[in-house]
Structure 1
């Protein structure tokens, strides 16, 4: 039986896990806090504590893994999975595929220009620099120990419960305008689709950009979401005048467009949500109905 082991059974990993479990796969995963993982336990996942500050209590729980997904971020020092379990992973006897979830942030700021997987890495944010270092370390595990590592550079993730639709309903959405600024996005369902396609066509050492077809200005996405909900969009605000936290402002420091040709050409992927419009439309109908019921 195929078994997926997820270091970090979070938002994106759960979508993949559910699809594979429905096909009869075993799913083993880690969580940072066992007392907050009741919803995962209810889905009959085999859960283990791993918060990065210490190794798994029993590394042998990885032994049945045929596929390994790494979705925990690197911390201030190194990738926590590599720090504690690189040697254990290198010894796994049944491992056919390992996926490391990285970020398109490793490309840094390109002034709105396009990048692809062959572009050099220029991470400008500390968190992106850590991701680039983690990518290199995982790929070294492939080169030195033949671990079947695949790297997936994810654009901004959205999906049910995590989109401009929710921020509009909460009254927290803003339409910040920074001339020329675009963001790349990817629906969580399409992340799972890409990972499944890679599992079906493993190519150790491969790197894939996971983004949709249309980088877009953030204010346009908010306006479209508001239209779907039948709400007036918030007014546009100049970015320079906005009062943002340092973290929120940091996302506007990088401006790039990410090419996704490789996932289509090499993995045969046809995106379910090729732009934010399809993705938001799919989620908006039930939310709009809820708003009408409350009116």
Structure 2
């Protein structure tokens, strides 16, 4: 029987847990001890530990055959120290993980001015946030080459779900860029399904784009949300005007425009999306 270790106990982990039921024990790393009873109720075996504090991770060595790494890098710099700490403890065990599935981001591609991209497109990160993800991917690939662990990297775009929609932004009337960049999305359930499929079908040292079938201009995305939830449609301003009112993090997301192919993940992991578009979810 397999055994699983989830690093990054959040929304996607909650979606993954029911899909792993009956496949073997599932351990979850919890930064906050007060969250452990909740994860125990969900069927996981919670362990205290914090990727920012390597001395708390010793119990993870040799614990699981499959590691599901959902934790984001830290908030600063261009290096992902959290992934480095995790791989250091995993690599010290006499029993190494056989598979490691990592959720990265399509932000590693940077902006393509709306042109189509696939997994063969070069990474061109424009922000330190994306550079940290590239660093994590490189660390994981090196770990896989060194140890023989099958590392699978899932590059996800904007993740949404029933309780993960930017409705407050619409309520506050935050404007969007007049340039209307292209965006990509995936429902958190379909991302969770991709994680589970990658555990058995993902090829070693392989990258997959986990995006739905319909990229959208950002105005169309927010317009659909506004119409469905009976909220005001957003206004539009030139980007140089948005720079005066939005924080750098929000600006960085709106500066990038790309459309991303998903043929590889459908072909190799045999997936059909439960929600092939944002509109199919809203309906």
Give the TM-score normalised by structure 2.
Answer: 0.89
In structure 2, how many angstroms separate the alpha carbons of the residues matched to 1:44 and 1:189? 18
- Which whole-Å CA distance do the structure 2 matches of 1:5 and 1:35 have between them? 19
Mapping 1:158-197, distance limit 5 Å? 158-165=160-167, 167-168=169-170, 171-172=171-172, 174-197=174-197
> 2:158 matched to which residue of 1?
156
Change (3 A) 1:232 1:154: same
**What is the Cα deviation at residue 108 of structure 1?**
0.8
Match of 1:132 among 131, 134, 144: 134
Q: CA RMSD in A?
A: 2.2
The answer to whether the 8 Å contact 1:7/1:81 transfers is: no
Shift of 1:232: 4.1
Deviates more, 1:212-221 or 1:260-269: 212-221
How far off its partner does 1:155 sit? 0.8
User: Pairwise mapping of residues 10-159 of structure 1 onto structure 2 (< 5 A)?
Assistant: 10-21=10-21, 23-55=22-54, 57=56, 59-75=58-74, 76=77, 77-86=79-88, 88-89=90-91, 91=93, 93=95, 95-159=97-161
* Structure 1 counterpart of 2:228: 228
Farther-moved stretch of structure 1 (124-133 vs 156-165): 156-165
Return the offset for 1:66.
Answer: 2.1
2:5 matched to 1:5?
Answer: yes
After TM superposition, give the deviation of residue 236 of structure 1 in Å: 4.0
Query: Normalising by the residue count of structure 1, what TM-score does the alignment of the two structures yield?
Result: 0.85
CA distance in 2, matches of 1:28, 1:184: 31
SS at match of 2:26: strand
| Count of aligned residue pairs for this structure pair | 278
Question: For 2:172, what is the secondary structure of its paired residue?
Answer: coil
Indicate if the aligned counterparts of 2:181 and 2:257 stay in contact, CA closer than 8 A.
yes
Which shows bigger deviation, 176-185 or 80-89? 80-89
Superposed CA deviations along residues 95-117 of structure 1, whole A, max 9, x for unmatched, are: 33210111111111111111111
The answer on whether the counterparts of 2:80 and 2:133 sit within 8 Å (CA) in structure 1 is no
For structure 2, the residue ranges without an aligned partner over 5 or more in a row are: none
Equivalence map 1:200-239=2 (5 Å): 200-239=200-239
Q: Which runs of 5+ in 1 are unaligned?
A: 282-295
Is 2:274 aligned against 1:275?
Answer: no
Give the Cα separation in 2 of the matches to 1:190 and 1:231. 26
